[in-house]
A and B are shown apart, each in its own frame.
Chain A
Amino acid sequence: AQSVAQPEDQVNVAEGNPLTVKCTYSVSGNPYLFWYVQYPNRGLQFLLKYITGDNLVKGSYGFEAEFNKSQTSFHLKKPSALVSDSALYFCAVRDTGRRALTFGSGTRLQVQP
Chain B
Amino acid sequence: DAGVTQSPTHLIKTRGQQVTLRCSPKSGHDTVSWYQQALGQGPQFIFQYYEEEERQRGNFPDRFSGHQFPNYSSELNVNALLLGDSALYLCASSPSTDTQYFGPGTRLTVL
A residues neighboring B (CB under 8 Å): 4, 34, 36, 41-46, 49, 90, 92, 98-106
Contact = CB atoms under 8 A, between A and B. Distances in A.
A99 B108 CA distance: 25
A43 B23 CA distance: 13
Contact of A101 (B4, B31, B100): B100
Interface stretch (B14-22, B42-50, B62-70, B73-81): B42-50
Interface of B: 4, 6, 31, 33, 35, 41-45, 48, 55-56, 58, 90, 92, 97, 99-105, 107
Given A44-B102, A46-B100, 18 more contacts: A36-B102, A43-B103, A43-B105, A44-B90, A45-B102, A46-B99, A46-B102, A98-B56, A99-B48, A99-B55, A99-B56, A100-B56, A100-B58, A101-B45, A101-B100, A105-B41, A105-B42, A106-B41
Nearest to A102: B45
B93 to A, nearest CB: 11
A45 B101 CA distance: 7
Nearest to A36: B102
Nearest to B42: A103
A34 B99 contact: yes
A41 B44 CA distance: 17
- Most A CB contacts (10 A, CB to CB) among B31, B33, B42 go to B42
B97 A99 contact: yes
A54 B45 CA distance: 29
B54 to A, nearest CB: 11
Contacts of A106: 41-42
B60 to A, nearest CB: 11
27 contacts: A34-B99, A36-B102, A42-B104, A42-B105, A43-B90, A43-B103, A43-B104, A44-B90, A45-B102, A46-B102, A92-B42, A98-B56, A99-B31, A99-B33, A99-B48, A99-B55, A99-B56, A100-B33, A100-B56, A101-B33, A101-B35, A101-B45, A102-B45, A104-B42, A105-B41, A106-B41, A106-B42
A49 B100 CA distance: 11
